[in-house]
Copies of this chain bind each other. A is one copy, B any other.
Amino acid sequence: MRSEFEFIERIRDRARGVQAADLMRGIGDDAAILRQRAGRETLITVDLLVEEVDFKLAYAPPRWLGAKTLAVSLSDIAAMGGAPTFSLLTLAIPPALRSDAFWEAFFDGYFTLAAAHGVALIGGDLSSSPDRLALDSIVMGVCAAGRAVRRDGARPGDGVYVTGSLGASAAGLRLLLAGARVEDGVDTPEQRALRAHLCPTPRVAFGRGVGEAGLAQSMIDVSDGLAQDLAHLCEESRVGAVIEFERIPIADEVSLVAQSEEEAFRLAVGGGEDFELLLTAPPENEAALVALAAERGLRLTRIGEIVPPCEAFTVGVRRGEEIKSLSIRGYNHFAGAPEPASI
């Protein structure tokens, strides 16, 4: 492959494609320069993806890996109710991964998604890695002052809502682990599940719309799994939540791998990486939220309610007359695997 400097010049050429307001200086200096404006707030998030831990090259077409690297961070900006604006990208590249074809495909995926959302790549860094690829994705966004939707604003009486459906990504991961592989141009439930896992769609337009219209009290994206992400939201807001077993919008693809209703539920709420948006809002905003989702071509499902904090559970699941504590846990990077699921 070309040298480090030629590689960077190639990225810089591709980054020039996006016209960005308020960008005074992008790649090419010690730091990027961005104009600030009165009455606005900057949002910033970072997501680290490590080979063999967060992805496997054997599973992921490089174009999808490039898109997912950006998508996971776009999802965080969407979850704040903001509009994404700028990105930075850090690459630790092992000697075995120096083919031009790999990186052209990776950046096709990255820059196509960036252009779709008006995001300009303004910086980054590069190092070699002894053996594994690592990607660090930084995305900035913007919102009107005071309009960011935080995790800590949920109040008892809020409805709990989620976009789209849950579990397709977890189903896709199971299928990959069982040997399924991506096939170009094939549209089957199995291939849709793989795509949900390997190339998720962040809910950028809906999230931004929620923030701009001030419709939600709190919001988070479903990256660790609904159970864990709703628990994070409740902990930050110092409230509890009760969700309805029957109302979880389980993705059709889950039926490819789940043997029972319980297993489907566990995959949907415990699986993670769906990158749907989970939000809470007072009942009077429900109609506007559903309409906004419909405009964006999304389903929005009311799955439960925020309740005052209680000792028995942070997140409870109601099935019939019974409420049980939801103890499904998501991925713990230090434990190496999800903790045992139980409900």
Contact = CB atoms under 8 A, between A and B. Distances in A.
Interface in A176-210: none
Contact of A53 (B40, B47, B129): B129
A128 interface: yes
A53 B138 contact: no
Nearest to A38: B38
Task: Point out which of A48, A82, A124, A145 has the most chain B C-beta atoms below 10 A from its C-beta.
Answer: A48
B128 A48 contact: no
Contacts of A45: 30-32, 123
Contacts of A145: 35-36
Contacts of A126: 48, 333
Number of copies of chain A assembled together: 2
A324 interface: no
Given A1-B334, A138-B138, A148-B24, A41 B34 contact: yes
Given A3-B335, A127-B54, A28 B134 contact: no
Contacts of A246: none
Interface stretch (A72-80, A260-268, A300-308): A72-80
Task: Point out which of A38, A77, A131, A136 has the most chain B C-beta atoms below 10 A from its C-beta.
Answer: A136
Contact of A123 (B46, B53, B91, B92): B46
A247 interface: no
Given A36-B41, A41-B33, A220-B30, A53 B128 contact: yes
Given A33-B80, A38-B37, A332-B5, A136 B53 contact: no
Task: Point out which of A80, A141, A142 has the most chain B C-beta atoms below 10 A from its C-beta.
Answer: A80
Contacts of A48: 90-92, 125-127, 136
A7 interface: yes
Contacts of A75: 30
A148 to B, nearest CB: 5
Interface residues of A, number: 78
A31 B268 CA distance: 24
Interface string A145-188: 10010111000000000000000000000000000000000000
Complex A-B, nearest 9 residue pairs according to Cβ-Cβ distance, in ascending order: A36-B36, A31-B45, A38-B38, A30-B79, A30-B76, A31-B43, A48-B125, A34-B42, A136-B136
12 contacts: A4-B334, A28-B151, A30-B76, A30-B151, A31-B45, A35-B42, A36-B38, A48-B91, A90-B90, A93-B334, A132-B132, A138-B138
Given A35-B42, A50-B92, A128-B333, 15 more contacts: A1-B334, A3-B335, A7-B334, A24-B148, A28-B151, A30-B76, A31-B79, A31-B82, A33-B148, A33-B150, A35-B41, A36-B40, A36-B142, A50-B128, A53-B92
Interface of A: 1-5, 7, 24-25, 28-54, 75-77, 79-80, 82, 88, 90-93, 98, 122-132, 134, 136, 138, 140-142, 145, 148, 150-152, 219-221, 236, 332-336
